[in-house]
């Protein structure tokens, strides 16, 4: 029997290293994460993570480069716990207290995660039965300083869902309906032969009528799109107001809770671990 006591701090470090190894052990490197060059060699390892050196730019990188937590001084297990709390929509103060980090750190972590989720959240195409609706959200200046106006614009949020297990929910335009922007951001993704099912909006209904000229189909409603305004209000309520400049990121997060497939924090961690998900703190909110 081993009698030696293991210090909790050392054990925590080992758990963190095992987490990194497990997440990145099967990651395939296809090019330099700095310059994109394909002329690179293995360059040792650091804490079990494989490192590489690019012969084109001369810089080194690893399996973790450009992942969400690149350059973070906090252990990966804290990030994992934060993502779990974020999925439960806990407040920043609750997360900060629970994980012993500052509220400012919790704020930037939340937005780094939201930005990482936003990158691939919008489907490139919509096909089959396309359900489209809109809701209007009043502009929110939460967290903004030196506000020069008291007038708040109407933000048109368009929701669209086809047969694929994905959903498009985005702030499309301000003030009023803009047909050109709608065609660019939404209609351009709709495949030919698809059938548009509009909800509660005369402009979208007009687009659907023109699109469905020679198509006759039985209408089946989708409550996720039909009641989009109630779904958004209910889901947003724990956040106690969302600044308009971050609205697109929060809507990307909202989409995950409105898909048929079940997603937990482990899936999100794996998703955020690969690809170029990194964003610098100073770029948040620009």
Instruction: Name the residue with higher pLDDT: 95 or 219.
Output: 95
- C-alpha atoms less than 13 angstroms from C-alpha of 284 in its C-beta half-sphere: 20
Q: What is the pLDDT of residue 60?
A: 87
Which is it for the CA torsion 264, 114, 68, 58, positive or negative? positive
In terms of domains, do 137 and 51 share one? no
Catalogue the E-assigned strands of 140-265: 154-161, 168-174, 195-198
* pLDDT reading at 2 higher than 60: no
Whether residue 25 lies inside any domain: the answer is: no
Instruction: Name the residue with higher pLDDT: 199 or 280.
Output: 199
Q: What is the mean pLDDT of residues 22-48?
A: 74
Q: What is the pLDDT of residue 264?
A: 66
Contact 33, 51 (CB under 8 A): no
* pLDDT reading at 185 higher than 50: yes
Whether residue 18 lies inside any domain: the answer is: no
Report how far Cα 91 is from the mean position of its chain's Cα atoms. 18
Catalogue the E-assigned strands of the chain: 40-46, 49-54, 60-62, 129-138, 154-161, 168-174, 195-198
The residues, any chain, with a CB within 8 Å of residue 215's CB and separated by 6 or more, are 193, 195
Range of the domain at 138: 129-255
In terms of domains, do 250 and 134 share one? yes
pLDDT digits (tens, 9 = 90+) for 90-127: 889 999 999 999 999 999 899 888 888 887 777 888 98
* pLDDT reading at 164 higher than 60: yes
Contact 263, 253 (CB under 8 A): no
* pLDDT reading at 6 higher than 50: no
Q: What is the pLDDT of residue 15?
A: 43
* pLDDT reading at 13 higher than 60: no
In terms of domains, do 219 and 148 share one? yes
SS3 137: strand
Q: In what order do the strands lie in the sheet with 195-198?
A: 168-174, 154-161, 129-138, 195-198
Domain boundary among 67, 83, 111: 67
For the chain, the domain total comes to 2
Q: What is the pLDDT of residue 156?
A: 94
pLDDT digits (tens, 9 = 90+) for 204-216: 999 999 998 877 7
Q: What is the pLDDT of residue 4?
A: 41
In terms of domains, do 141 and 233 share one? yes
| Residue 52 to residue 30: CA distance in whole angstroms | 11
pLDDT digits (tens, 9 = 90+) for 222-247: 888 999 989 888 888 888 788 888 89
Confidence at 8, pLDDT banded by 50, 70, 90: very low
Q: What is the pLDDT of residue 180?
A: 92
Q: What is the pLDDT of residue 23?
A: 57
Selection from 30-39, 175-184, 233-242 with the highest mean pLDDT:
175-184
Q: What is the pLDDT of residue 207?
A: 93
Whether residue 14 lies inside any domain: the answer is: no
Q: What is the pLDDT of residue 143?
A: 75
Residue with tokens 């929060």: 250
In terms of domains, do 164 and 249 share one? yes
What tokens does 105 get? Answer: 């750190």
Q: How many helices (H) and strands (E) does the chain have?
A: 10, 7
The residues, any chain, with a CB within 8 Å of residue 12's CB and separated by 6 or more, are 75, 77
| Residue 60 to residue 32: CA distance in whole angstroms | 9
Contact 205, 190 (CB under 8 A): no
Whether residue 141 lies inside any domain: the answer is: yes
Contact 196, 190 (CB under 8 A): yes
In terms of domains, do 56 and 138 share one? no
SS3 174: strand
Q: What is the pLDDT of residue 37?
A: 82
């Amino acid at each position: 029997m081993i009698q030696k006591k293991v210090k909790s701090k050392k054990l925590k470090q080992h758990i963190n290293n095992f987490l990194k190894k497990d997440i990145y052990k099967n990651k395939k490197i296809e090019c330099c994460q700095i310059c994109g060059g394909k002329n690179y060699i293995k360059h040792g390892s650091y804490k079990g993570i494989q490192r590489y050196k690019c012969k084109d730019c001369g810089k080194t990188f690893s399996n973790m480069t450009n992942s969400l937590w690149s350059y973070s001084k906090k252990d990966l297990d804290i990030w994992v716990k934060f993502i779990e709390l974020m999925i439960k929509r806990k407040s920043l103060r609750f997360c900060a207290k629970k994980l012993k980090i500052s509220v400012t750190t919790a704020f930037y972590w939340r937005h780094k995660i939201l930005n990482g989720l936003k990158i691939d959240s919008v489907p490139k195409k919509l096909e089959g039965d396309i359900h489209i609706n809109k809701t209007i959200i009043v502009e929110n200046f939460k967290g903004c300083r030196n506000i020069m106006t008291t007038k708040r614009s109407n933000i048109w949020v368009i929701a669209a869902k086809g047969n694929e297990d994905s959903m498009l929910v985005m702030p499309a335009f301000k003030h009023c309906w803009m047909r050109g922007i709608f065609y660019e951001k939404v209609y351009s993704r709709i495949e030919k032969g698809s059938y548009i099912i509009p909800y509660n909006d005369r402009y979208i209904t007009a687009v659907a009528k023109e699109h469905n000229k020679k198509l006759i189909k039985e209408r089946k409603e989708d409550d996720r799109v039909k009641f989009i305004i109630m779904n958004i209000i209910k889901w947003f309520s724990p956040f106690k107001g969302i600044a308009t400049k971050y609205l697109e990121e929060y809507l990307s997060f909202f989409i995950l809770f409105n898909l048929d497939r079940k997603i937990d924090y482990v899936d999100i961690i794996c998703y955020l671990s690969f690809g170029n998900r990194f964003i610098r703190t100073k770029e948040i909110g620009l």
